[in-house]
Amino acid sequence: MNHGKSIPVNLHILDKDYVIACPEEKRNTLITSAQFLNEKVQEVRDGGKVASTERILVISALNIIHEYLLYKQGKEGEISTINTEVSRLAERVEAALLESEQSKKEVQKCGIDTYAV
């Protein structure tokens, strides 16, 4: 996949500055991601139970992945519910169409003309 021109982006995470190259069209997403990461890292650091920078980053990454997986599970459940409802509605529409066809045939048997509305 060909992305646009890479540009340097300055990020501030855990009191350190980083310059990361990324496609220009992804700059805003990268900055938002870095801000989110920085917030999570600061939460872990401010909790006071983790001392080393490496452990702070690992715990933060695990927390972020945990939140993501919970979000993903919720969305998958919602999608399943929607799919079930769509199937149920499709069955009702199909039944209504069949009933309409049968009614039309019965009317035609009686010799009454039907017109499409």
Please tell me the CATH code under which domain 6-82 is placed. 3.30.160.880
- pLDDT value at 101 more than 60: yes
pLDDT tens-digit map of 13-53: 988 999 999 999 999 999 999 999 999 999 999 988 878 88
Q: State the pLDDT at residue 78.
A: 93
Confidence of residue 94 (pLDDT cuts 50, 70, 90): very high
Cα separation of 88 and 94, whole Å? Answer: 10
Residue ranges of domains in the chain: 6-82
DSSP secondary structure string for all residues of 61-93: HHHHHHHHHHHHHHHHHHHHHHHHHHHHHHHHH
Cα separation of 25 and 45, whole Å? Answer: 32
Residue tagged 């149920």 (tokens): 88
56: number of Cβ within 10 Å: 20
- pLDDT value at 80 more than 70: yes
CA-CA-CA-CA dihedral for 98, 100, 101, 103, to nearest 10: 120
